[in-house]
Amino acid sequence: MKRILLIAVIISFIIASCKKDNNSSTTNKEDDWIKLEIPNAREAYAVAGDIDDTLLVATWTKAYFTADRGKTWQESKTFDTSVEGLYMSGDTVMALMHFNDIQADGIYKAISAQYYTLNFGKTWYTYNNRNATNISQLIGIVQSPINKATYKLKFNTTSIPGPDIYIHHPTDILKNGNIISFPFKRRLENLYLDKESRLYVTASGGTYNENTDTFDCCPVTTPALIYISKKPMPQ
């Protein structure tokens, strides 16, 4: 009887362990992410929409959209400067053209809505509303609607002599203040969660040098990069 009870306990432990493994984070392997590249776009700064429908991406000075999960990209707008954020309100997406810092720990927000689109980048219009100054969006910070977990970029830099000059090292992603496993060594730019709570990570396409822990960034032929978690966050 004791032997049967021991076997039952062991089986229960194995089942519990399997359930724990199934519920653990699965975003620590490259296969857990979808990787999209926009040729000759240098850096991806912000996204809106979702990969299953229409995905809008703001890059160095342009806007692109894809309706076939990144197989092809359509360039739809050239801006005078980079778009720091894409603010969504219903079917309206506004391009925020500037940024400012709001806290001492390096948190920034995108501001200054100057253009908008009603179809995720296929057509753009000038935004002249006098309330444009009230529209803003945090850069590199998103919160999951599932359990309010906060995901934030941790920029790792080394300052060098000169006005606001930094050497960039691979960026970390924090979940509630703790570093989560992200399998790509990249200079990251922003975060976004779609309606399915999948995490989108925008990045520059600069080449990482393991020996110097720095990046070679970014020739005009460099692709802009977007990584998308295959499963909803949090895992």
At 124-137, the pLDDT tens digits run: 999 987 666 689 99
pTM, entire model: 0.84
Confidence at 163, pLDDT banded by 50, 70, 90: low
The mean pLDDT value for 51-76 works out to: 96
How much is the pLDDT for 17? 42
pLDDT of residue 28: 72
* Amino acid identity at 106: G
Task: Mean pLDDT check: name the lowest of 50-54, 60-64, 208-212.
Answer: 208-212
CA dihedral 63, 157, 34, 223 (to 10 degrees): 50
Predicted pLDDT at 15: 40
Q: Is the distance from CB of 28 to CB of 41 less than 8 angstroms?
A: no
218 vs 138 pLDDT, higher one: 138
As a whole number, mean pLDDT of residues 198-202 equals 97
Whether residue 113 contacts residue 95, with contact meaning beta carbons closer than 8 Å, is answered with yes
**For residue 22, is pLDDT > 60?**
no
Pick 142 or 128 by higher pLDDT. Answer: 142
- Mean pLDDT across the chain: 84
Q: How confident is the model over 167-177, as a mean pLDDT?
A: 92
Question: Which residue, 225, 147, 228, is CA-closest to 194?
Answer: 228
pLDDT for 78 = 96
Specify whether the CB–CB gap between 231 and 26 falls below 8 A.
Answer: yes
C-alpha span between 46 and 61 (Å, rounded): 12
Q: Which two tokens stand for residue 158?
A: 């080394």
Count CB neighbours of 168 within 10 A.
Answer: 19
The amino acid at 13: F
